[in-house]
């Protein structure tokens, strides 16, 4: 039997971090299947994909990683994964229901190879909809101390063993500290052909600028807000005398479709991110 894990290491940059952790995993019988690291303003971040053939002594590996992390002043997390089971999906929302409802409807029908494990929101409006779909709902206020809010959200995601995160019109900016922990595992949908009209008022900006074609983009979330690797896009033509309300309605329907298309590609393992560009494989 083969076991899989994703291990993240985050802290101040210093010499020998990669060597120490890969050497430890080697002595634990692990095979390093993928490794990605970067340093940003002195902050070191690394994500390892490791596998074990045969028996995995999970407690021993976790303890060893924790001890090595303390010794090197690094935050270390280990997340067990299994490509044979449906991925655990967390959905982050604010108060717009259309994308959340579309994703949950498909998941409930078994049309997505993903298991919804938690709906997390900075507001309370969609708690009732989460209850209808029988998914746990967690309210994490984002006003005030954003760092504390993100720490709480990350803890909840870890408690529910979330493999990836869907931002179904979640209207808060995630910091690099949050994003790195789910690198290329946070999927967002944005109402414009990025990078045009970033932010929460994309339709109003498009309407006021007299845009003739309105687009929708689904992308992986990166450190640069709405400029992450693009997964799927679509667009519609603005008819003469179309009102802002009509544009928003048409756009929101397209948002759901594009987000679902991106999720299907991701769950089918047909995406590869190379130098910030998504390629279908």
Q: Which of 13, 82, 163, 226 is catalytic?
A: 226
**Which pLDDT does position 132 carry in this prediction?**
96
Q: Report pTM.
A: 0.83
SS3 call for 278? strand
Cα 128 from Cα 215, distance rounded (Å): 30
- Is the pLDDT score of 194 beyond 60? no
- Which pLDDT tens digit goes with each residue over 259-269? 999 999 998 87
Average pLDDT over residues 90-95: 97
Across the range 10-18, mean pLDDT stands at 92
Q: DSSP class of residue 29?
A: T
Longest dimension (CA), the chain: 68
The mean-pLDDT minimum among 65-69, 188-192, 195-199 falls in 195-199
Delimiting residues of CATH 3.40.50.170 domain(s) in the chain: 87-280
CATH architecture of 2-81: 2-Layer Sandwich (3.30)
State the span(s) of the chain assigned CATH 3.30.70.260: 2-81
Q: Is 272 a catalytic residue?
A: no
Q: Compute the distance between CA of residue 110 and CA of residue 167 in angstroms, rounded to an integer.
A: 20
- Which residues are within 8 A (CB) of 223 and not within 5 positions of it... i.e. 6 or more apart? 40, 176, 179, 180
pLDDT of residue 224: 65
pLDDT for residue 54 is more than 60: yes
Dump the DSSP string for 182-199: TTT-EEEEESSSTTSS-S
Distance (Å, rounded) from C-alpha 168 to C-alpha 160?
18
**39, 97 Cβ separation under 8 angstroms:** no
Query: Which CATH code fits 87-280?
Result: 3.40.50.170
pLDDT cut 90: percent of the chain above it: 59
């Amino acid at each position: 039997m083969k076991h899989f894990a994703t291990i993240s290491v985050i802290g101040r940059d210093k010499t020998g971090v990669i060597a120490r952790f890969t050497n430890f995993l080697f002595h634990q019988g692990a095979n390093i299947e993928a490794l990605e690291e970067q340093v940003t303003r002195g902050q070191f971040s690394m994500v390892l994909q490791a596998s074990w053939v045969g028996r995995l002594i999970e407690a021993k590996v976790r303890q060893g990683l924790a001890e090595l992390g303390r010794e090197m002043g690094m935050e270390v997390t280990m997340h067990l994964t299994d490509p044979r089971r449906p991925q655990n999906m967390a959905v982050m929302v604010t108060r717009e229901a259309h994308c959340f409802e579309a994703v949950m409807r498909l998941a409930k029908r078994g049309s997505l190879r993903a298991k919804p494990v938690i709906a997390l929101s900075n507001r309370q409006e969609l708690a009732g909809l989460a209850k209808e779909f029988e998914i746990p709902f967690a309210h994490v206020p984002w006003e005030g101390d954003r760092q504390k809010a993100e720490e709480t959200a990350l803890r909840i995601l870890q408690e529910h063993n979330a493999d990836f995160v869907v931002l179904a019109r979640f209207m808060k900016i995630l910091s690099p500290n949050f994003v790195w922990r789910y690198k290329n595992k946070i999927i967002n949908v944005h109402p414009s052909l990025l990078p045009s009209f970033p932010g929460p008022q994309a339709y109003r900006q498009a309407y006021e600028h007299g845009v003739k074609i309105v687009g929708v983009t689904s992308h992986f979330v990166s450190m640069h807000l709405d400029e992450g690797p693009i997964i799927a896009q679509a667009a519609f033509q603005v008819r003469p005398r179309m009102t802002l309300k009509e544009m928003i309605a048409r756009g929101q329907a397209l948002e759901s479709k594009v987000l679902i298309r991106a999720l299907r590609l991701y769950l089918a393992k047909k995406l590869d991110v190379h130098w910030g560009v998504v390629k279908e494989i």
